[in-house]
Chain A
Amino acid sequence: MSVFMRQATGKTTSVISFLALIIFLPLFIMVVGQTITLMSRAAGTPANIIVDTKSKLEVVKTDFYHAFAQGGEESTDMLASIVPDVKALKPKVIRLDHLYDHYDVVGKDANGLTFNWSKLDAVINTITSTGAKPVLALSYMPGAIAKDGNIIGPPNDWNEWALVVQKTIEHYSGKAERNMSGIYYEVWNEPDLAQFGGWKLGGEKSYLTLYRYAATGAGNAKNVNQFYLGGPVTTGLYKTWILGLVESGSRLDFFAWHSYLAEPERFATDQRNIIQWLLPYPNYTLLPKLITEFGFTGSKSTAYGSAYAAAHAAAVIRQLISGGPTYLFSFQLKDGPLQSDGTGWGLITHDDNGLRKKPRYHVYNFMDTMAGTRLLLTGEGSWVTGFATERDDVIRLLLVNFDANGSHSEQVPVQFNNLAPGSYKLRQRLLFGRDTTTTYEVTENSLATDIFMSAQNIAILELTKQQQP
Chain B
Amino acid sequence: MGIGMKRVVIIVVSLLLFLAIPASVFLSMRSQELRKKAAPATTLTLTPASVTKAVNEDFTLEVRMDTAENQIVAVELNLTFDPTKLQAEWIHNGTMFPNILSSGTVGNGTVSIALGATNTTTPITGTGTVATIKFKALAPTSSPVSVRFSTDTFVGALNEGSTNALTSSIPSAVTITGSGASTLTPTPTPTGGIATTPSITLTPTLTPTGGASDSASPSGVTIDRPAKNASVITTQPTIQGTAPAGSTVTITVYSDPITVTVVADANGNWTYTLAQPLASGPHTVVVAAQDPNSGTSHTATLAFVVATGNENGASGSAVPVSGSAENTIILLGLGMLFIVSGSVIPLLWRRQV
Interface, chain A (partner B; CB < 8 A): 54-55, 57-58, 268, 271-272, 275-276, 278-283, 285-286, 322-324, 376, 378, 415, 417-418, 420-423, 425, 438-449, 466, 468-469
Contact = CB atoms under 8 A, between A and B. Distances in A.
A340 to B, nearest CB: 40
A378 B74 contact: no
A417 B90 contact: no
A276 B162 CA distance: 12
Contacts of A322: 100, 103-104
Q: Is the interface of A mostly helix, strand, loop or mixed?
A: mixed
B209 A440 contact: yes
| Most A CB within 10 A of own CB, among B101, B118, B220 | B101
A282 B204 contact: no
Contacts of A418: 228
B39 to A, nearest CB: 12
Nearest to B155: A279
A440 B206 contact: yes
B114 A272 contact: yes
B216 A422 contact: yes
Contact of B114 (A275, A324, A417): A275
Nearest to B209: A439
A279 B219 contact: no
A378 B88 CA distance: 11
8 contacts: A268-B102, A275-B114, A276-B154, A281-B162, A283-B120, A283-B158, A285-B116, A444-B203
A415 B204 contact: yes
Given A282-B120, A286-B99, A323-B100, A442 B220 contact: no
B311 interface: no
Contact of B154 (A54, A279, A423, A443): A279
B327 interface: no
Contact of B213 (A278, A282, A441): A441
Contacts of B219: 420-422, 468
A323 B103 contact: yes
A423 B215 contact: yes
A279 B156 contact: yes
A421 B205 CA distance: 10
Contacts of B206: 440-443, 447-449
Contacts of A415: 204
B193 interface: no
B256 interface: no
Contacts of B158: 282-283
A445 B90 CA distance: 21
B157 A282 contact: yes
B74 A279 contact: yes
A439 B203 contact: no
Contacts of B215: 423, 441
B123 to A, nearest CB: 8
B210 interface: yes
A278 B210 CA distance: 54
B3 interface: no
A370 to B, nearest CB: 16
Interface in B99-124: 99-105, 113-114, 116-120
A285 B216 contact: no
Contact of A445 (B74, B101, B202): B202
Contact of A282 (B156, B205, B207, B228): B156
Contact of B119 (A272, A286, A423): A286
Contact of B205 (A272, A324, A422, A443): A443
A58 B73 contact: no
B133 to A, nearest CB: 12
B92 interface: yes
B76 interface: yes
A466 B212 contact: yes
Nearest to A322: B103
Interface in B191-243: 201-217, 219-220, 222, 228-229
A469 B219 CA distance: 12
B73 A440 contact: no
B93 interface: yes
B161 interface: yes
Contact of B210 (A54, A286, A439, A444): A439
Contacts of B76: 275-276, 279
B66 interface: no
Contact of A323 (B101, B118, B208, B213): B101
Contacts of B90: 376, 378
A281 B205 CA distance: 54
Contact of B217 (A268, A280, A443): A443
B160 interface: yes
B37 to A, nearest CB: 19
B89 interface: yes
Contact of B204 (A324, A422, A439, A444): A444
